[in-house]
Amino acid sequence: MKSRSNFNKFIILGLISLYSLNGQKSGIQVLEEVVNNAMNIEDANYSFIITSENENNLFPITGELYIKKEKYFIDTEEIDQIFDGDKLYTIIHENEEIIVTSNLNTFFNFTPKQIFNFFKDDFNIEIQSKDLSLNLIARNLNQEDLIYKIIIDSNLLSIKRIEIKNTDNITLSSFLTLSYKFNLSLPSSLFKFEKEKFNDYLVIEN
């Protein structure tokens, strides 16, 4: 579970764009711009895969992320998450458990707002290269043993890949976007938790 927690903190580092040479916008300024842009998109869908070079039976994880404004639905074989705008439902299929909590205690951190909240403090973000893709290196000022590499599509302002590496250059977690679609008019029912679908699951409210 600790490996998942480390992964959560990086995983959605994404959707960051940065042009900060010669007095242009800082990483946080552009990140906030990207968040605002994401909020203006009608609906979005990411197909993704998460891998790791560590020996861990949790990976690879493949899934789908659906976003509708602040609401989101993460669909994987192991764990699903639904945030309906009020409550967060984490559905753990192996244990047949459903944990109901606030969006502050999420299992994954995939949404633009979560990314912004993660990086707005205690991070130094610099450009490694820029072209059609924007390569960023982010370092936590209080956790020097981890390096976050973020590859952004400069045109779509969408995440292509995120990696967490340690000082030995071992990839602890890697998040790769397989496809990205937006303005899909997703149904509101996709972001609604329906208890009757999980009658055999134990519900835990925190």
Q: Output the domain CATH number for residue 74.
A: 2.50.20.10
- Over residues 43-62, the pLDDT tens digits come to 999 999 988 888 777 788 89
- pTM score of the predicted model: 0.77
pLDDT at 149 over 70: yes
- Over residues 103-118, the pLDDT tens digits come to 666 667 767 777 777 7
- Lowest mean pLDDT: which of 83-87, 99-103, 113-117, 189-193? 113-117
pLDDT at 175 over 80: yes
Q: Is 138 exposed, middle or buried (0-12, 13-18, 19+ CB in 10 A)?
A: buried
* Domain region containing 91: 2-205
- Over residues 127-141, the pLDDT tens digits come to 776 667 777 788 888
- Measure the CA–CA gap between 150 and 127, rounded to whole angstroms: 10
Q: Count the domains in the chain.
A: 1
